[in-house]
Each structure stands twice: as structure tokens, then as C-alpha cells.
Amino acid sequence: PAKKSAATTASFLGANLGLFWFAFIGLFATIGTAVSLNHFDPNNSDPSTVAAKLGLGIIALLVIVLTSTTANAVNLMSAGSALTNMTHRLSLNVSLWLVTIAATLVTFIPVYLASFLDAFETFLDGIGMFLGPEIAIFLVDYFFLKGKHYRLAELTKVRGAYWYTHGINWIAVASWLLGVAAYWGLKQVPAIATTTGATFIAMAITAAIYGCGMRLTKAQPVTAK
């Protein structure tokens, strides 16, 4: 029989298997480019640059375009669905167009940066700064504050069990902002920026702030009458 834990473990193992597989492909491709050119340039980690300098031709570039398209289609779908859930005034089609246009504009950012490596580092900083604290709040709320149980029917109900203050949990918002600020501050500390990185420390700080804030203020969802 299927286990509930399989939904977590299978997703975790599957995602990380693909992640490490492609990471090692990029690693060996970059090494191969450095060996063939007799010098190392970190900007050669760009997949299109690797394909071109190794003489893989237009077919390799088409593979990169197609794989990027299929991968980002899922991201755009989830972003569009999230936007629709947030507003309730936009249809899914409109939300998909909006996030697609925004994503297309963002893709031009690397053109105005010094190198591919700078663009990729900026992307990673954005993930660590904004998503790290957010994930910390999710984990603390689900595992520690709600005891791994949500009332699913109440999640999207106006004035339901998770309505909080006019539909916003301000303690969560404040904790997230403080987590973002903590990440930015930690990035300025060389001993942290060049070793462990700021992401996990900022997540721990955010988790502590949110958990303590919810317990000290005894913030509870407003139960529907």
C-alpha cells in the first residue's frame, strides 16, 4: 500500500536526482571546454557557450531551447495559477499571459549585466533572499504550529479558519521581510558569504522570528461563525 510519506520522499529524491545529474553535466562540460581551450573562463558555464565552443552545432542549441521551454512551461503555469489564487479577479489565461510577459522581460536582464556568471549569481541571490525566508515560514507553520494538519476546505474560504486579519497573516509578512533583511545583511559579512552562504542562516532566523511571534502574540486564525 502507498504511504503518505512517499509524496514527500519521492518528490525530493526525483527532483534532486535530476538536479545533481544536470549539475554534473554542466561541471564536466565546463571542464571539457577549459581543457580544449587551454584556459578556464567561468563564463563558459553558460550551456549555449559550452555547446558552441565544443562544436556541438545547431542541434545542441535546439535541444537547450526545447528543454528550457518545457521546463519553464511548468514554472509559468504555477506562477499563473498562484496569481489567479491571489487576486480571484483574473482568469487563468490572463494570469498566464501576464507572468509570461514579465518572465520574457526578465530574460533580457543578463544582456545588461557584465557576464552570464553575474546574471546567474544574481538569480541565486534572489532565490535565497526571497524564497528562503518564505519556505522557512511554511515549514514552521505546518510542522510546528499546525501539527502537520491543515483544514483544506478552509484554506480559500473568506472569513474561514485561516482568515487572520482581513485575509493577511501580518506576523508572517513581517517575519518574511525581516528574513529578507537578514539575508541581505549576512551577505555583507565576508566570512559567511564565502563559506556557508546566507540562505540557511536567514531561514533559521526567519523561522525563529515567525515561531516566537505567533506564540507570543497567540495569533490564531479567525474561525468562521
Per-residue model confidence as pLDDT tens digits over 1-25: 567 788 888 888 988 998 898 888 8
Asked whether the beta carbons of 182 and 114 are under 8 A apart, the reply is no
For a pLDDT cut of 90, what percent of the chain falls above it? 38
pLDDT at 118 over 80: no
Estimate to the nearest angstrom the gap between the alpha carbon of 106 and the chain centroid: 15
| CA 164 – CA 162 distance, rounded (Å) | 6
Domain ranges of the chain: 115-225
Cell of 47: 550551456
Cell of 183: 539575508
- Looking at the DSSP bridge assignments, the partners of residue 165 are 168
* Top-confidence range, 27-31, 134-138, 143-147, 190-194: 134-138
pLDDT-derived band at 124 (thresholds 50, 70, 90) equals confident
Question: Looking at the whole model, is its pTM more than 0.85?
Answer: no
- Looking at the DSSP bridge assignments, the partners of residue 177 are none
Average pLDDT score over residue span 160-178 = 92
pLDDT at 224 over 70: no
DSSP string, 136-177: HHHHIIIIIISTT---GGGTT-TTSTT-TBTTB-HHHHHHHH
Cell of 163: 482568515
Residue 84: what residue type? T
Cα dihedral sign for 120, 122, 127, 132?
positive
Residue 6: what residue type? A
Per-residue model confidence as pLDDT tens digits over 43-64: 666 777 767 766 777 777 788 7
User: Which is more confidently placed, 70 or 224?
Assistant: 70
pLDDT-derived band at 130 (thresholds 50, 70, 90) equals very high
User: Tell me, what's the pLDDT at 225?
Assistant: 44
What is the average pLDDT score of the chain?
85
